[in-house]
Structure formats: structure tokens, C-alpha cells
């Protein structure tokens, strides 16, 4: 008796891969038999949620599930269109889904948790794949030779744990045309999982900016930056400090932000100097005009736009420095002149400059 199930559930029966058995009389070689059987197992692995990039060691579980016998009391039947369904003779009920599929999904989830806890790097990479949507199930089945080569190299390099080769490969991918940059991001994340300091920063920026097909995710970006900060990467220290200062992806933590920005500034990271000076100048609990002037001046003299703008404000307001509108205008004009890379900062400088110009004598403006 055919089950009375909603028609949209038929897709589950269609999607479930069929166990492959070699024909009794065939000229197939052992290699072809293995390849065809392996293909069926991999299709079933995807069906129960496996990631073939990370779960190669669990394919035995997918093979067991695909070729497992039906439980006692179940019969496989077909509807009038040829789609299989499973009838339980004991309960007199039927379902489109194989009765063991859910069991093997749970087994896989349990084995995956054990696998990820044994090697945290794999768990971290799996989280990134899920967050970016870079799992192979979301990609087009049409693959270019370049993408196929990148995938095979990714698997080989992940197996050998060669950080240097992973980093070089990710550099190559990142420099290619935009349509291949998601592979570059994936490779950077893989290299980051294996301890590449520069790759940690690149992986963090992938999620922080949310470009080239990678969804923006502040929490995940902060995780990557914090890992890089723990490895004394100045860029990661600076970005984690900025995010903690602004409360991006996490609650604000001014003290931790100050520590990270100070560490990055001590490593001669110029933008970190600018943000550290800005924090000492504007955050009331940590206000320190002497330190603010020190770090802001250093970053401004090295051409950082944020540092130049903050330095101009210091001259204009006369709190940390002696009030000098002419010097303020000089620095604002420099921001406007060199701010093509940051339109928002250029606009702020223009607005502030127009406010100050009315307070300066014409002959002083001509001198500037």
C-alpha cells in the first residue's frame, strides 16, 4: 500500500544515492569497480552531511550506512512513478526516507565531534567552511581545471601539514581573478589552522570585510585575529584591539583593547599607533594626553590618516596641545590631499577644515 505522504517529500527518495553492485557479467576492471563503488559511497556521505574535504577518514561509516540491510519488519517498495519508499509491516506506516539514514547521521555527528576534539585545527576549519558557505555542496558542479587543481593541492597539503606550501598556494590563489578568490580564502583558513601567522590575519580579514563571496562575520573575524594576536602578529593585535574598542563581534573591552593596541604599536604597526593615541585622547577612563600626543604624533608623521586627523583635532581643541588653528588646518589639508584611499576620512577633514577656516585670519590662511 502506497504511503499517503505529501508530494514534496518525494525529493528525499530521489536524492538518496543507490548502493552500487558490480554486474554479474561485466568486463569492468578492479579499478573501475572500486571507482564506481567509491563514487556511490561519497554521494551517500554528502547525503548524510559529511564534508569530503575533512571527513575522508569517516567514509567507512558512509559505506556501512549505504550497504546496510533494512531493519527487521521493513520492506522497500516503489510508488507508481518508480520512487522507492519504506513500509513498516509492524506499525503499518510508510516513509520516503530510509529508516537507517537518521541513525547514520547521528553516528556521523558523534564521530565528527570526537574527530574535531582530537584535532582542534580540523574543527576550526570546519567552522570556517560552514560560515563562509565554501562547503563543496554549495558550489557549482562545473569545475574549471584550476579549481580542481587547487582542491587536490588543498587535500594534499592539509595531509602533509606544510604551512609554507599552504601559504604560497593561497598567495597564488588570492592573486588570481575574483572568481577564484574564495579558494584563496579557504586556503588561508587552512594555513591558519596549521599555525601560519600571516594566514591568520588574512583569514580574519576575509570575515571582517565580507568580500569576494565571503559573508561578513565579525565574531569569526575576531576569533582569527585573537589567535594571531596570541602569536604576536602585529596586524592581528591591531585589528583585535580595534574590534574590542568598538564592540564589533563582542562586548567592548577597553582594557584588553589597550593592551593589544599597545603591543602592536610597540611592534611598529603605524595604524595601531594612531588608534592607541585616539583611545588615550578620547576614552575618559584611560585619558592620558601625554601618551595620546606621543603615539598620535608618531603615526601622523609616518602618514597615517587617522593619526593626522586626530593630531589636527588636538591642535584645534587645545586640550592635549597648545591651541593652534593654523597647525590644525595644515594637518587637515594633508589629510585631504593624501586621503584618496579613505573617502570617509577625507570628507571629515573637509567638514572640519571649513569650520576652522572662518576662525583664521586671511593672511594666515594664505601662509598655510
Interval 277-331: pLDDT, tens: 999 999 888 899 999 999 999 999 999 999 999 999 999 999 899 998 888 988 9
| Per-residue confidence (pLDDT) for residue 109, from 0 to 100 | 84
Which residues pair with residue 78 across a beta bridge? 84
The CATH number covering residue 86 comes to 2.20.70.10
Q: Bigger pLDDT: 44 or 148?
A: 44
Percent of the chain at pLDDT > 90 equals 19
Mean pLDDT over 319-347 rounds to 87
Q: Is 248 left (phi over 0), alpha (psi -120 to 50) or beta?
A: beta
Enter the C-alpha cell of residue 245: 574598542
- In this structure, is residue 152 part of a structural domain? no
pLDDT at res. 55 = 78
Task: Determine contact, residues 192/199, Cβ cutoff 8 Å.
Answer: yes
What pLDDT sits at residue 278?
93
Which among 186, 71, 90, 70 is positioned nearest to 136, based on CA atoms? 186
- Whose CA is closest to 235, among 257, 194, 193, 268? 268
For residue 135, the 8-state DSSP code is S
- The residue ranking higher by pLDDT, 258 or 152, is 258
Query: Is 83 a member of any domain?
Result: yes
Structure confidence at residue 122 (pLDDT): 62
Residue 59 has pLDDT above 70, yes or no: yes
Least-confidence region, from 7-16, 106-115, 122-131, 270-279: 7-16
Among residues of the chain, what percentage have pLDDT more than 70? 68
Q: Does the pLDDT of residue 173 top 60, yes or no?
A: no
In a domain, 39, yes or no: yes
pLDDT score recorded for residue 136: 45
Weakest mean pLDDT among 15-19, 85-89, 150-154, 302-306: 150-154
Residue 112 has pLDDT above 90, yes or no: no
- 359 lies in a domain? no
In a domain, 108, yes or no: yes
Residue with cell 586671511: 362
pLDDT at 182: 54
Mean pLDDT of the chain: 77
Range of the domain at 100: 30-118
Residue 153's alpha-carbon distances to 159, 161, 163, 176, 190, in angstroms, are 10, 12, 13, 16, 12
pLDDT digits (tens, 9 = 90+) for 214-223: 678 888 888 8
77 located within any domain: yes
**Number of structural domains in the chain:** 1
Q: Is the pLDDT of residue 83 over 60?
A: yes
Q: Does residue 170 have a pLDDT over 80? A: no
pLDDT tier at 162, thresholds 50, 70, 90:
low
Instruction: For residue 56, tell me if it sits in a domain.
Output: yes
For residue 58, tell me if it sits in a domain.
yes
Average pLDDT over residues 242-265: 90
For residue 164, pLDDT over 70 is answered with: no
| Tens digits of residue pLDDT in 61-78 | 888 888 888 888 888 887
- Top-confidence residue, 197 or 251: 251
Q: Whole-prediction pTM value?
A: 0.56
The continuous run of DSSP H or E covering 366 comes out as helix 362-367
Tally DSSP H helices, then E strands, for the chain: 18, 3
pLDDT greater than 60 at residue 131: no
Closest CA to 44 of 81, 118, 80, 97: 97
pLDDT value at residue 291:
93
Specify the pLDDT at position 205: 84
Give me 146's grid cell. Answer: 584550476
| Predicted confidence (pLDDT) per residue in 137-156, tens digit | 444 444 555 555 555 555 55
Amino acid at each position: 500500500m502506497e504511503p499517503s505522504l505529501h508530494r514534496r517529500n518525494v525529493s528525499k527518495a530521489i536524492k538518496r544515492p543507490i548502493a552500487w553492485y558490480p554486474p554479474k557479467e561485466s568486463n569492468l576492471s578492479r579499478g573501475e569497480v572500486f571507482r564506481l563503488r567509491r563514487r556511490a559511497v561519497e554521494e551517500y556521505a554528502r547525503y548524510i552531511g559529511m564534508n569530503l574535504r575533512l571527513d575522508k577518514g569517516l567514509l567507512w561509516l558512509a559505506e556501512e550506512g549505504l550497504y546496510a540491510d533494512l531493519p527487521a519488519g521493513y520492506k522497500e517498495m516503489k510508488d507508481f512513478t518508480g520512487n522507492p519508499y519504506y513500509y513498516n509491516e509492524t506499525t503499518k506506516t510508510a516513509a520516503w526516507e530510509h529508516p537507517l539514514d537518521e541513525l547514520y547521521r547521528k553516528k556521523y555527528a558523534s564521530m565528527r565531534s570526537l574527530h574535531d576534539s582530537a584535532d582542534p585545527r580540523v574543527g576550526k576549519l570546519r567552522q570556517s567552511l560552514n560560515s563562509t558557505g565554501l562547503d563543496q555542496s554549495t558550489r557549482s558542479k562545473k569545475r574549471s581545471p584550476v579549481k580542481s587543481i587547487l582542491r587536490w593541492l588543498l587535500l594534499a597539503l592539509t595531509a602533509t601539514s606544510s604551512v609554507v606550501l599552504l601559504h604560497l598556494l593561497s598567495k597564488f590563489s588570492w592573486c588570481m581573478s575574483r572568481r577564484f578568490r574564495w579558494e584563496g580564502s579557504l586556503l588561508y583558513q587552512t594555513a591558519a589552522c596549521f599555525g601560519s601567522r600571516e594566514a591568520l590575519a588574512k583569514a580574519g580579514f576575509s570575515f571582517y570585510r565580507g568580500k569576494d563571496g565571503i559573508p561578513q562575520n565579525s565574531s569569526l573575524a575576531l576569533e582569527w585575529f585573537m589567535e594571531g594576536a596570541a602569536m604576536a602578529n602585529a596586524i592581528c593585535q591591531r585589528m583585535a584591539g580595534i574590534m574590542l574598542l568598538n564592540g564589533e563581534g563582542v562586548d567592548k573591552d577597553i582594557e584588553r583593547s589597550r593592551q593589544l593596541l599597545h603591543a602592536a604599536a610597540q611592534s611598529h604597526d603605524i595604524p595601531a599607533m594612531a588608534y592607541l593615541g585616539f583611545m588615550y585622547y578620547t576614552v575618559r577612563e584611560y585619558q592620558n594626553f601625554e601618551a595620546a600626543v606621543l603615539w598620535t604624533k608618531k603615526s601622523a608623521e609616518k602618514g597615517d590618516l587617522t593619526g593626522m586627523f586626530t593630531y589636527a583635532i588636538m591642535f584645534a581643541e587645545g586640550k592635549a596641545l597648545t591651541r593652534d588653528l593654523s597647525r590644525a588646518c595644515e594637518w587637515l589639508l594633508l589629510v585631504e590631499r593624501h586621503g584618496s584611499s579613505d573617502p570617509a576620512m577625507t570628507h571629515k577633514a573637509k567638514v572640519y577644515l571649513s569650520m576652522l577656516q572662518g576662525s583664521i585670519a586671511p593672511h594666515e590662511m594664505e601662509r598655510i
